[in-house]
Amino acid sequence: MSYSKFGKWLRRFLNHPYKVAIFCGFIFTVSIFLNGNIWRLWSLHRDFDHINLEISQAKEANTSLQAQLKQAKDPVFIEHHAHDKLDLAGEDDLVFVFSDQ
């Protein structure tokens, strides 16, 4: 194909705006897929969802820990755990000691 034939074909093609728009859309779509932007966008969207999930889990854990901290400052709670976990006795408690002999 010579330059003059190509020039005539190009002029006829450019005189149809819908064909030019479709061709530009095709080139745009191909360039996005070849460039990897679609993959990056999908990856960023997936990471965004994952980070939001981690944030909500961290907020729930924070709320739970704040409740535990508030409970741990209560003297009744401390005394209860001292009795149960450490086997300590209070002033008014009666302690029995049994020998194995």
pLDDT at 38: 77
Q: What is the mean pLDDT of the chain?
A: 85
Please tell me whether residues 17 and 46 are part of one structural domain.
no
Question: Which residues 6+ apart lie within 8 Å of 88 measured at CB?
Answer: 82
Question: Which residues 6+ apart lie within 8 Å of 32 measured at CB?
Answer: 38
CB 90 within 8 A of CB 79: yes
CB 68 within 8 A of CB 74: no
Q: What is the pLDDT of residues 6-53, one digit of tens each?
A: 888 888 888 999 999 999 999 988 887 777 777 888 889 999 999 999
Residue 57 is which amino acid?
Answer: Q
pLDDT at 92: 77
Which residue range forms the structural domain that includes residue 56? 37-89
Please tell me whether residues 15 and 50 are part of one structural domain.
no
- Do the domain assignments include residue 100? no
Please tell me whether residues 49 and 80 are part of one structural domain.
yes
Please tell me whether residues 42 and 80 are part of one structural domain.
yes
Please tell me whether residues 74 and 50 are part of one structural domain.
yes
Please tell me whether residues 41 and 26 are part of one structural domain.
no
